[in-house]
A and B are shown apart, each in its own frame.
Chain A
Amino acid sequence: MDTLLQQTVNALSLGGIYALLALGLAVVFSIVRLINFAHGEVMTVAGYAIWFALLLALPVPVAILAGLAVAVLAAVAMERVAFRAMRGADVTSLLITSFAVSEIIKVLFQNGISARPVPVVLPGWLTATIDLGAVRVGMISLVSIVTVAASLALLGLILRRTTLGIAMRAAAEDFAVVRLMGIRANHVVALAFAISGALAGVAAVLWVAQRGSVDPLMGATPVLKAFIATVLGGLGSLPGAVIGGFVVGAVEVFLQGFLPEAALPYREAIALSVIIGLLVWRPDGLRPAANVNRS
């Protein structure tokens, strides 16, 4: 029972990070039909920004803010430099462009800093464990869960209460008509990238806090999981991305926790089989995007 509770906390904490990343992918995809393979590198860039800020002996909160700011800037810059010129291109061309961006950034970090992980030391209280009655859980897990919940709530507020947020939801349905309303396409797209960057930044902070290091491939694995999450949830659906993120996190954690030892090497295979099974059951995802797009 206690292990179950403990694993649930772990599942929520890991799933939450996947959910943030998946949401960032979905926000961009829903508007510009770009499957952004360079999303993981936004996370990596944020990780290095935190590392660098701490190297300069800046206080931890400042380093975290720097990580978030750099993530937003990196995402917006990617759009401006690489993706804007490709707007309206087909999904494959956009995908290949994002591969190129991803590789360039990885190589820059490998050659510019180091291919090996660099340590990031965060304050001790973050790595402590606390007793909640009978269960001991990591402080970082609780911080992750609260942070993810706050981020999702804030995003919901932006999408429902601000004009540009409402315009983003509208653009996912029919971008041409949003422009007919006089709303600048570039603003809507830039906001989508800024939001995806901010979410990747939050994910990077939590990921770095859990791992204690940054390396050039840091974003690759979690974003791969986030891709699976967006497909599982229904490509382009924001609630689907969140649900998908939590499902992928839960499958991963519970298999790790409860599989017999002999089966552990097959953990990933079993996890992916579960997800394939879910997709066979619901081919459009667990919660598909409601609207068919027209451009």
Chain B
Amino acid sequence: MLSVRGLQVRYGAVEAVRGIDLDVGRGEIVALLGANGAGKTSTLAAIAGLVPAAAGMVRLDGVAMTGLPTERLARQGIGLVPEGRRVFAGLTVAENLALGGAVHAPAAERRARLRAMEARFPILGERRDQKAGLLSGGEQQMLAIARALMAAPRLLLMDEPSLGLAPQMVERVFDLIAALRAEGLTILLVEQNVPMSLDIADRGIVLANGRVALAGPARELAASDAVRGAYLAA
């Protein structure tokens, strides 16, 4: 479904991503792993159009997506749950969700999706009219994921969804990701929690210094010393 070839991202003189290839098949969870600064977030940002790709090609279901502005990519079905959640703190929970689905479906369909989200995340239903900034970290993460799901994306990119959450909440987030995959969603997951990511992922890709250091089935990577090595090296 997603195919990335030779992707490069530069910030001025700094090369964050130096030519990576990756593929995500329909209905798969692919975990993108690596130390801080390995280029994971930049890779996601480039796929979602938040930063320009210096070189390389991004295709979604065979259609070239490279260079399209963020909003066009979102309309093409690429959803991103950004690092640090980035919910709209001054807007209510309901307004956050409404924006998530704003351009993707007619009003009736949006209402149905909103009800589905509130059924899936009862806390968001209870806090519907509260400012999102007043939610706990875990609740904000749920909101950030629900907001992305309101668009019914073809491909969901998730950047560190468990970062900074309490252990119980981390478990809930991973359960949720597994449940979304079971419903057929395709997910590219960036995570620092390596064991739990490889536990739910089909395949894993380890980045180091902006390049693919290692790739393979999640189970093999989980058993490999090289994964630990790649982490400690950087």
Contact = CB atoms under 8 A, between A and B. Distances in A.
B86 A174 contact: yes
B70 A176 contact: yes
A234 B82 CA distance: 29
A163 B98 contact: yes
Interface string A280-295: 0000000000110010
Interface in B51-97: 69-71, 74-75, 79-80, 82, 86, 88-91, 95-96
Interface residues of A, number: 20
Contacts, number: 69
| Interface of chain A, main secondary structure | helix
A183 B82 contact: no
B48 interface: yes
Interface in A258-289: none
Nearest to B157: A180
Given A166-B91, A176-B50, A182 B86 contact: no
B102 interface: yes
A84 interface: no
A180 B70 contact: yes
B88 A185 contact: no
Given A180-B50, A180-B82, A181-B100, A169 B91 contact: yes
A179 B74 contact: yes
B70 A170 contact: no
Contact of B90 (A178, A185, A290): A290
Contact of A179 (B71, B98, B100): B71
Contacts of B74: 179-182
A281 B145 CA distance: 42
Contacts of B99: 163, 166-167, 170, 178, 181, 183
B103 A170 contact: no
Nearest to A177: B86
A215 to B, nearest CB: 40
Interface in A13-38: none
A183 B71 contact: yes
Given A166-B98, A167-B102, A182 B71 contact: yes
Interface of B: 48, 50, 69-71, 74-75, 79-80, 82, 86, 88-91, 95-96, 98-100, 102-104, 147, 151
21 contacts: A163-B98, A163-B99, A166-B91, A169-B90, A173-B91, A174-B86, A176-B50, A177-B82, A177-B86, A178-B99, A180-B48, A180-B80, A181-B103, A182-B74, A182-B151, A183-B71, A183-B102, A183-B103, A184-B71, A291-B89, A291-B90
Given A179-B69, A182-B71, 10 more contacts: A163-B98, A170-B88, A170-B96, A170-B99, A176-B70, A181-B71, A181-B103, A182-B151, A183-B102, A291-B89
